[in-house]
Amino acid sequence: MARRVVGWVGTCPTKHLVLLMVGVFAASRAAYFLAGVRFDASSLPVAHHFLDPDLLRNCLAESLFYLHSQPPLSNLFLGLVLKVSGHHYPAVFAACYQVMGLGLYLALFALMRRVRVSRTAALGLSTLFMLSPSFLLYEHYLFYDLPLTALLTASCLAFYGVLQRQTFWRALCFFTIVFLLCALASMYHLGYFILVAAAVLTLRWRSRRAIMTAAALPLALLVGLYTKNYVLFGQFASSSWAGMNLSAVTVRALPLEERKEMVAGGELPPLALVPRLSPLSAYPARYRHVRGFSSIPALREASKTTRADNLNHLAYIGISRQYLRDALYVARHRPDALLTGWLNSWLCYFRSATDFPPLYGNLSKIAPVNVFYDYVFYGKIPRYRVALGPIPIYYAPYAEPRLYAFLLVGLPMLLVLGFRLALRPGRTPLRLTRDQRILLVCICLNIAYVAVVGNTVEVSENHRFRFTTDPLYVVLLGLSVEWVKARRGQGSTAGPTASAWPSDEHG
């Protein structure tokens, strides 16, 4: 029976395979719904990254223009949904995230086919990932993690499309996706866009006119965003939180008593004793009292109408700058604290993506499935916890991150194998074309970029942003399966050499 299924998957028309995947996705979501999983929009009124819902409904354009704490795309999406859906916004958000989840599932399968993973392996691995608790929970949580994951996976697909044919429209599609990444998360900086554009130009210099024309408008929009923030707030960036993030890796890695001594000795200001992302009232008066933009609620209200703190208040720009100065001071004079912070960041990075408190409500409904994935696929070591350095109390859920051996060992091994298959084709049995190897380098570099940049400047939620690259790790896992098969002489791969699903011979 299993052989017949495998044979059918390998030979059926593409449209039938797509229908099968859509059916599997719908059936799995129905089963999880019966288990009690519901879309969670509770982050809307309280998340620090979101503007006041009342402003999003009634003053969207002005509030987005004066948004400095985050790139604007996430709040633009929230505002548009709130405007058009009224009180039915939870259902609309849920539908949007279901569509993105299905798109991610199909895109992951397609991406694996682009690098010559067999249909059977691609379908099996993409389905296992789609059924995973991490995929499900982020699909049912109102935050930008799932959209970011879908966009990053789609960007790799679009990149391969540009490698195959350098038309204006393919290039425009690719650069638009990269722009959306940069407009959604501050990790994807203007420099990221420029490096990506330079790489595409270098690889396809003969088509430079089409590529440069396609990149011009997205780049102009991104530069406009940065310029607007510089003119209004003196910050040439898409987010003003860099200092608050970096202080968690450096200053907060110092023991509290030592920080108090440094403050008493004048090495650090009293601000070093205030946890980042605190209410405005917790900060010294010299930081709270700022002038300007008196008629802009998004910049002047200390709290939202939901009573949550408004971290887009104008004062947080100066607060974040001071946090940045303190972080750099500690990094220079106490490199041991910086190393401790980085070690904690990397340990957080290798945790299960479901170990995130806002997900616990839905997680409790699928606890047996989560336990299965944790132990079988992630190698969770029971009753074993590790903690390097002093983690402050507001990181309580992450104070002793659990150890997941398969993630800790397996993810770096997959990345190394990916680079090896791409850069040393003569040493591997897989027959990848040059474009496929370039795509593989793109996948590996995106994984490395998110890991290095994220773990350098953030601690506590590193496993959450690692989830955005998990589909790319799944692609590398699929390639490793094909590599093992080829090494054992069971055939190299099943699939076309240059182009793949959906334009294969049966599609």
DSSP 167-205: -HHHHHHHHHHHHHHHHH-TTS-HHHHHHHHHHHHHHTG
For residue 10, the model assigns a pLDDT of: 62
pLDDT tens-digit profile of 413-442?
A: 999 999 999 998 766 678 889 999 999 999
d(CA 248, CA 323): 9
| Nearest C-alpha neighbor of 276 from the set 395, 419, 147 | 395
Q: In which band, very low, low, confident or very high, does the pLDDT at 8 lie, cut at 50, 70 and 90?
A: low
Is 154 inside a domain boundary?
Answer: yes
Is 84 inside a domain boundary?
Answer: yes
Q: Indicate the SS3 state at residue 404.
A: strand
The total number of structural domains in the chain stands at 1
Is 464 inside a domain boundary?
Answer: yes
- Residue with the two structure tokens 């039938």: 16
d(CA 228, CA 236): 8
Is 252 inside a domain boundary?
Answer: no
Least confident of 191-195, 226-230, 258-262, 383-387: 383-387
| Nearest C-alpha neighbor of 246 from the set 313, 358, 314, 345 | 345
Is 355 inside a domain boundary?
Answer: yes
For residue 495, the model assigns a pLDDT of: 44
- Residue with the two structure tokens 């008196």: 294
Residue range of the domain that includes 169 = 13-240+345-486
- Residue with the two structure tokens 């079988």: 376
| Nearest C-alpha neighbor of 185 from the set 75, 52, 309, 108 | 75
Sequence-distant (≥ 6) Cβ neighbours of residue 51 within 8 angstroms: 63, 64, 67, 75, 78, 79, 298, 304, 312
308 pLDDT more than 50? yes
Cis peptide before 502 (omega within 30 of 0): yes
Least confident of 163-172, 273-282, 290-299, 493-502: 493-502
Q: In which band, very low, low, confident or very high, does the pLDDT at 381 lie, cut at 50, 70 and 90?
A: confident
* Torsions phi, psi for 204 (to 5 deg): -130, 60
Is 360 inside a domain boundary?
Answer: yes
309 pLDDT more than 60? yes
For residue 430, the model assigns a pLDDT of: 81
Is 338 inside a domain boundary?
Answer: no
505 pLDDT more than 80? no
pLDDT tens-digit profile of 159-205?
A: 999 999 999 999 999 999 999 999 999 999 999 999 999 999 999 99
pLDDT tens-digit profile of 35-91?
A: 999 999 999 999 999 999 999 999 999 999 999 999 999 999 999 999 999 889 999
Q: Give percent of the chain above pLDDT 90.
A: 80
Is 114 inside a domain boundary?
Answer: yes
d(CA 186, CA 226): 11
400 pLDDT more than 70? no
